[in-house]
Amino acid sequence: MKVYKCLITGDELFTDVYNYVEKDGLLVVRGKYITRSKGDKIDEKCYGGNASAEEPKEAEGEETTESGCNVCLDGRFGSTGFGTKKEYLAYFKDYVKALENIKKQTNPDMDFVAWRAEMTETYKSAVASFKDYEFYTGESNDPAGMIVLVKWQKPEGEDEEVPFVYFYKEGIKEEKY
C-alpha cells in the first residue's frame, strides 16, 4: 500500500486506493460525494452478531453522519479558506520557501531556479479558477503544510458534478507499507 503524505507536516493526504492523474504539476484525484456514519459505533455484523427479526431492537443513541468528498473525509481534512488570490499568493510563497528548504537538504544539487519556475506555472494553473475551489488543510490543520484544493466539476458525458481533489506534486512524499 502506498500512502501519499504532505512533505512539510507529514499529514496523510491520500492512498493508492485512489487513482490519480498528473496535470500541470498537480496530482488530481477524482472523489465522490458520500454520507456515512460517524463515531465509534461498530456494527454487530462485523463480529458475527445477527439481530433477531422477532425481538425488537434496543434503543440506541442517535447516530450521527458526515457528508462530503470521500477523499477529504478519509484524509480528515479541515476546511479553510482564502478571501482573495492575494491571500492565497502570500500562503503559496511561504509554502514554496518551506518546500525549497526541505528539498535543499535532500537534493542540494537540484536546479532551484527551474524548480521555482515550475512551481510558479503550477500556481498559475491552480489560481486560474480560484473562485471555484474549496480549500482544506491536512489533519494537523497546520497552515504551513499543503493546502488541498477541491473543485466540483461535471465530467464530460455525466449529469452530476463530482469533486476533483488537487495536490501539489512537489509537496508530496510517497511511503510504502
Model pLDDT for residues 143-176, shown as the tens digit of each residue: 899 999 999 999 999 999 999 999 999 999 999 9
Query: When comparing pLDDT for 3 and 38, which is higher?
Result: 3
pLDDT tier at 22 (50, 70, 90 boundaries)? very high
CA–CA separation, 67 vs 35, rounded Å?
A: 4
Q: What is the mean pLDDT of the chain?
A: 89
Please tell me the CATH code under which domain 2-35+71-176 is placed. 2.170.150.10
Other beta carbons within 10 Å of 5: 20
CA–CA separation, 111 vs 73, rounded Å?
A: 37
CA–CA separation, 78 vs 142, rounded Å?
A: 10
Q: What is the pTM of this model?
A: 0.84
Give the pLDDT confidence of 34-50 residue by residue, as tens digits.
999 876 555 555 455 56
Per-residue model confidence (pLDDT) at position 159? 93
Lowest mean pLDDT among 58-67, 114-123, 161-170: 58-67
Taking residues 68-96, what's their average pLDDT?
Answer: 94
Domain boundaries along the sequence of the chain: 2-35+71-176
Taking residues 114-124, what's their average pLDDT?
Answer: 94
Question: HSE on the CB side for 63, CA within 13 Å?
Answer: 11
Per-residue model confidence (pLDDT) at position 64? 87
Q: Which residues contact 24 (CB under 8 A, 6 or more apart)?
A: 121, 122, 125, 126
